[in-house]
A and B are shown apart, each in its own frame.
Chain A
């Protein structure tokens, strides 16, 4: 079963199937801990959202839904290319695996670039607590400025933590692409691609929840 390219079966596993199952189980166990990290932040966010709903709604409306929405589509597309990379790896297709992994990393980078632009626009629109913030703007809307600042802190911490995970994901996917290009993976042994595919989809899942929780609280309907 061992190939010339990869140290396929490690000595403490019965066979490659056993090894792959263990690798994936390890990644799922890690993702469970990641769920708890983000879950903790989401819970804290929910507590304050329940208490200061008016301010959170008003602040949410000021976030850039265009960039948020487009970024969601970018990340969903990257999940598609990632699962296609895993599919190609399962069939031992070297070039398809490499291409799809590179596309995944590229789309992830597009997300980060748009996020950077969005952060700049947030700064320009006075949405940075302490640094670029106009309390009077929010008092005029009948909400307490400090509640708005709390929402914004959650926004930057949640999207920032997500961005850190995405940076790690892009770096790993690029390394996997190099390995794939060098014919390191086979139909039998490609568990790193499978495992980090799970990680990538998890990043997407977090963002899928962030979109409605941060950007879509307040109604953006133009009434009247």
Chain B
């Protein structure tokens, strides 16, 4: 039960998250920028990392917590990986 993170840190992270949100939305209005989806998802991942590390206090969490999270992500990667390995290597569905 530690309280190392200060209130200031929370506000800094918050404004970073707001800025990244505005960036994500703004990117889709830039003409001729085909990569805006991938960049948008990369920005979303960055936001999630910030939320997880600071708001969910992962940065000051025990190794047990990290284990729970990483296990979940491992199973998620199996879900996504094996599913897409199937569908991405098949013929186009007709519907």
Question: Interface of A with B (CB < 8 Å)?
Answer: 16-17, 20-21, 24-25, 28-29, 31-33, 35-36, 39-40, 42-43, 46-47, 50-51, 65, 69, 72-73, 76-77, 79-80, 82-84, 86-87, 90-91, 146-147, 188, 197-198, 201-202, 204-205, 208-209, 211-213, 216-223
Contacts and interface: CB of A to CB of B under 8 A. Distances in A.
Contacts, number: 145
Contact of B55 (A51, A65, A83): A83
B59 interface: no
B55 A212 contact: no
A216 B55 contact: no
Main secondary structure of the interface of A (DSSP, over half): helix
B93 A51 contact: yes
Given A25-B65, A220-B28, A39 B79 contact: yes
Interface of B: 1, 3, 5, 7, 10-11, 14, 17-18, 21, 24-25, 27-34, 36-37, 40-41, 43-44, 47-48, 51-52, 54-57, 61-62, 64-65, 68-69, 71-73, 75-76, 79-80, 83-84, 87-88, 92-93, 95
A43 B33 contact: no
A146 B95 contact: yes
